[in-house]
Chain A
Amino acid sequence: LAKTTQPISMDSYEGQEVNITCSHNNIATNDYITWYQQFPSQGPRFIIQGYKTKVTNEVASLFIPADRKSSTLSLPRVSLSDTAVYYCLVGERYSTLTFGKGTMLLVSP
């Protein structure tokens, strides 16, 4: 399983765009990149998944460069309710889900 590295924490203000970058230098050909969000005392929630280039849904965008050695989760115009831990996972769709320690995003007024 490819190892991922992401910042331990990030701070932002309401209304700003937040970009969280994840490094995964040894990503394999069959690996997908998946992001989860976790609020306190709740289980993680799937946000977005991609293989290459850009993926967008109603919650976020995921940017993946051509070499796929990193990815960036972009949250447009964050609000206080986006305060959470964000996890980047890399692996085959048939593999287990290995979570790292994630990035704690704190959004302030």
Chain B
Amino acid sequence: DVKVTQSSRYLVKRTGEKVFLECVQDMDHENMFWYRQDPGLGLRLIYFSYDVKMKEKGDIPEGYSVSREKKERFSLILESASTNQTSMYLCASTAQGTTEAFFGQGTRLTVV
């Protein structure tokens, strides 16, 4: 059974903390994505990566960075967490040349 796994289901962090959200996929997919989802706003793309050590900004990259040192792992980093980054974060992966994405279960992050 193919799988995208996010390290935490729920996370509570304090304002100003550095936060790491981890995502691992076991399908040898080239592409990986990070989205955030907020009520009424749908899914918004933060960053994506199409290869190891490669990254591209999505629609809302401000306040975030990413790391992809290995093909199966894509990390989202909140350099200094703020309350407006409280959200559901979703990781996804696709094989090259397809639009069939597999999503993780999501991480609900609360910044207090």
Considering the chains assembled together, what is the distance between the CA atoms of A101 and B39 in angstroms? Answer: 9
The answer on a CB contact under 8 Å between B106 and A101 is no
Considering the chains assembled together, what is the distance between the CA atoms of A36 and B44 in angstroms? Answer: 15
20 contacts between A and B (CB under 8 A): A36-B101, A41-B88, A41-B108, A43-B92, A43-B105, A44-B43, A44-B92, A46-B101, A49-B99, A87-B42, A89-B99, A93-B97, A93-B98, A95-B99, A96-B45, A96-B56, A97-B94, A99-B35, A99-B44, A101-B42
The answer on a CB contact under 8 Å between A46 and B105 is no
The answer on a CB contact under 8 Å between B100 and A34 is yes
B1-59 interface with A by 8 A CB criterion? 4, 33, 35, 40-45, 48, 56, 58-59
- Nearest-CB distance from B101 to chain A (Å)? 6
Is B103 in contact with chain A by the CB < 8 A criterion?
A: yes
The answer on a CB contact under 8 Å between A32 and B99 is yes
With A43-B106, A99-B42 already in contact, 7 other A-B pairs whose C-beta atoms are closer than 8 Å? A43-B90, A43-B92, A43-B103, A44-B101, A49-B100, A95-B99, A101-B41
Interface size on A, residues (CB 8 A): 23
Q: Choose from B43, B58, B99, B108 the contact partner of A34 (Cβ within 8 Å).
A: B99
Q: Choose from B41, B45, B97, B105 the contact partner of A97 (Cβ within 8 Å).
A: B45
The answer on a CB contact under 8 Å between B92 and A97 is yes
The answer on a CB contact under 8 Å between A98 and B99 is no
Summarize B's interface: helix, strand, loop or mixed. Answer: strand
Considering the chains assembled together, what is the distance between the CA atoms of A93 and B97 in angstroms? Answer: 5
- Top 8 A-B pairs, shortest CB-CB distance: A43-B103, A99-B43, A101-B42, A46-B100, A34-B99, A43-B90, A93-B97, A99-B42
Is B96 in contact with chain A by the CB < 8 A criterion?
A: yes
Q: Which residues of the partner chain B approach A43 to less than 8 Å between Cβ atoms?
A: 4, 90, 92, 103-106
- Nearest-CB distance from B84 to chain A (Å)? 19
Considering the chains assembled together, what is the distance between the CA atoms of A93 and B105 in angstroms? Answer: 24
A99 to B, closest residue via Cβ: B43
Given contacts A42-B106, A97-B33, A97-B94, contact A91 B43 (CB under 8 A): no
